[in-house]
Amino acid sequence: MSHAGRLLVATPLIGDPNFERTVVALLAHDRETGAFGLVLNRPSDMLVRDVTEGWDRSVAAPGVVFFGGPVDTESLIGLARGGSGDDRFAPLVGELGTIDLARPPGDEHPPWFGLRLFLGSAGWGPGQLEAEISDGAWWVVDAAPDDIATGDPDGLWGRVVRRQSGRLAWFANCPLDPTAN
């Protein structure tokens, strides 16, 4: 079963500091080829205008580049929603797609919205993500439309966990170090 289009939410058992309290938009997932996603809640201090020319007018606030994950950290990826009909927009899953950042941003009112720029990505080899989910490192949950370009990326993990049903929502109050509780 593919989880593409859903969110991976790091559990307190993740055991990898690269992913502690992260929310990953899973953009591609196949048991045989692996998985690909972008960490949504790791803003950097790099302003978009300092990294690429002209795109700062098109990105969602706060106007910084996000760390998309520890893989291929030299690549800049533009992710937005609803850009069908524009040849700079390449659909991935649902209404999410990548934006061709090598081309000029164009007019001031593009057909997409919620554009974020990510440096690097998150990736898993065949079967790797399934094993991590089985080991309890990730919760797989449905995405809400505003998760990608939330105005409060630092609070995203808690909000996503809090909106889940049952016992999972309890984890929204879990301290960073559960042993200190």
Note the CATH architecture for domain 7-180: 3-Layer(aba) Sandwich (3.40)
Q: Residue 93 has what pLDDT?
A: 87
From CA 174, how far away is CA 79, in angstroms rounded? 30
**Domain extents for the chain?**
7-180
- Residues 129/35, Cβ–Cβ less than 8 Å: yes
- Residues 40/66, Cβ–Cβ less than 8 Å: yes
User: Element (H or E) spanning 130, and its range?
Assistant: helix 128-134
Render pLDDT for 20-35 as a digit per residue (tens, 0 to 9). 999 999 999 998 999 9
pTM reported for the whole predicted model: 0.92
Q: Would strands 89-93 and 71-81 be described as parallel, antiparallel, or unpaired? A: unpaired
Q: Would strands 113-124 and 64-67 be described as parallel, antiparallel, or unpaired? A: parallel
180 band by pLDDT with thresholds 50, 70 and 90: low
Give CA angle at 126 (25, 14), nearest 5°. 55
What is residue 50's three-state secondary structure? helix
Task: Give the percent of the chain with pLDDT over 90.
Answer: 71
